[in-house]
Amino acid sequence: MIHGVISSQNSVTNNISRLASAVPVNEASDSLTPISADQTPFKRRKTLPRYPRYVTESFRHQSYLNWPHAIPTKTECVIAGFFYTGESDLIRCFQCGIGLKDFSHEDDPMAEHIRNAESCLYLDAMFSPEGLIKKRKELDRSNPENNRQRQYAEFQRNLGATSSSNTSRSPQYSTFESRLLSYESDNFRSIKSPEELAAAGLFYTGLGDEVRCFSCNGGLRNWEEHDDPWIEHCKWFPACTFARETKGDAFIEQVQHSANAPTTMLNDATNPSAEKHHHNDLDLDMDLLTVKAVCIEEMGFTAEIFDEAVYHLKLDGNHHPNIEVIINRIDQIQKETSVEYTSAKISETFYEENLRLKKIVKCSNCKTNDSNALFLPCAHHVMCITCTRDTKRCSVCNRAVYDVVRTFMG
């Protein structure tokens, strides 16, 4: 996934169309037409290129001497109008100057160029202005994040309504048993168990670890150990009738809030005027599921007391509380109801729990600096920005770290 879209030499816009490691599989759509080097129909125009040295494909090819990736290939990048800057995997369009970096095997340089360049004469010459509009619409329809947002809007419109007819896209897999049988294939290779996937309404397609919902036909693939099939299903396809009937609207709403939180944090991080709203790093909108895991596994609270605290906070109008607010409400509930915790940490005093909370804001690696680095997409906040250099996976959940956001203490 391309996380950094650079529109000028000194600005970076974060693009997070996929935040989950389980990647949604889009419906079939027309793919971008591959264009070989001798088919590139670019002609010089009156507007001068930003980087005239790389107007020809031969000069752009020469820039990829130390290109670090096998995929996307040098030729794909060159045909898409990009030359290699020599910095990390940053490439730039010779005409409009837009830059792309942080490539994965699934990224298409031409598609990303079309999606992210507001105006580029090279693309206009290659596809024509009308053709470029059509390409952008195709890409917009196939973008997983755009599809999620559309489905979430549909989910909100139908909130509380009962579906009068449940038309399954693959009715032959409507039972748990029939879905489970689909995984009895020599092709099935996945870190998730057939039972977990089948319980979430997903049947095996016969390709890699790709699965689809029998009801909404939403597809998911590229599973990792910490992915939860139900969470991924409800995140990417919130309008699914089966998901709503099985998990309930409240669960889907919570998953969608968690999916939207990292986007909000990234937008704030790239907007200087937003810093005043987040002086304290604990005020950042953390994923509720992550906060719950921290409260239960690291602080010894029970799931019941956590859920009760969140419930009361939502009644008060706080629909996305941070960890500090939740802990304060738990303490208030404890004092009011004299709840006895069944955790192994019963003997800890509230003072000791506060000390434990303070440790959270110290870097888990050097133990000296304050934690001021937020990992995405998992939203763990356990290291300082200095220690995150060369960090590829989160030390808490072992998920891949796609981006790091610096936070500030008040």
CATH number for the domain including 216? 1.10.1170.10
239 and 151 in a common domain: yes
- Say how far apart CA 111 and CA 381 lie, in whole Å: 33
Task: Transcribe 60-84 into DSSP letters.
Answer: HHHTTTT---SSS-HHHHHHTTEEE
* Per-residue model confidence (pLDDT) at position 350: 59
74 and 168 in a common domain: no
188 and 161 in a common domain: yes
- Say how far apart CA 133 and CA 407 lie, in whole Å: 38
151 and 135 in a common domain: no
237 and 132 in a common domain: no
Which domain-ending residue is among 142, 169, 190?
A: 142
211 and 137 in a common domain: no
Over residues 123-147, mean pLDDT: 84
Which domain-ending residue is among 247, 263, 290?
A: 247
| Structural domain that includes position 66 | 27-142
137 and 150 in a common domain: no
116 and 169 in a common domain: no
- Say how far apart CA 256 and CA 237 lie, in whole Å: 10
236 and 209 in a common domain: yes
Cβ-count burial 28-44 (b if 16+ within 10 Å, e if not): eeeeeeeeeeeeeebee
> What is the per-residue pLDDT across 9-55, written as a single tens digit (0 to 9) for each?
333 333 323 333 455 554 433 333 333 333 344 444 446 889 999 99
**Residue 282 domain-assigned?**
no
Which domain-ending residue is among 124, 142, 160?
A: 142
243 and 169 in a common domain: yes
Task: Check: CB of residue 249 under 8 Å from CB of residue 255.
Answer: no
pTM: 0.41
**Residue 78 domain-assigned?**
yes
**Residue 303 domain-assigned?**
no
154 and 117 in a common domain: no
**Residue 2 domain-assigned?**
no
Task: Transcribe 308-355 into DSSP letters.
Answer: HHHHHHHHTT-SS--HHHHHHHHHHHHHHH-PPP-STTTT--HHHHHH
Number of domains composing the chain: 2
87 and 35 in a common domain: yes
**Residue 269 domain-assigned?**
no
**Residue 11 domain-assigned?**
no
> What is the per-residue pLDDT across 213-236, written as a single tens digit (0 to 9) for each?
999 989 898 898 888 999 999 999
Q: Is 318 a residue whose pLDDT tops 90?
A: no
* Per-residue model confidence (pLDDT) at position 272: 37
Q: How far is CA 282 from the centre of its chain?
A: 21
**Residue 204 domain-assigned?**
yes
Q: Is 397 exposed, middle or buried (0-12, 13-18, 19+ CB in 10 A)?
A: middle
**Residue 387 domain-assigned?**
no
> What is the per-residue pLDDT across 357-404, written as a single tens digit (0 to 9) for each?
666 678 888 888 888 888 888 778 888 888 888 888 888 888 888 888
Task: Check: CB of residue 399 under 8 Å from CB of residue 393.
Answer: yes
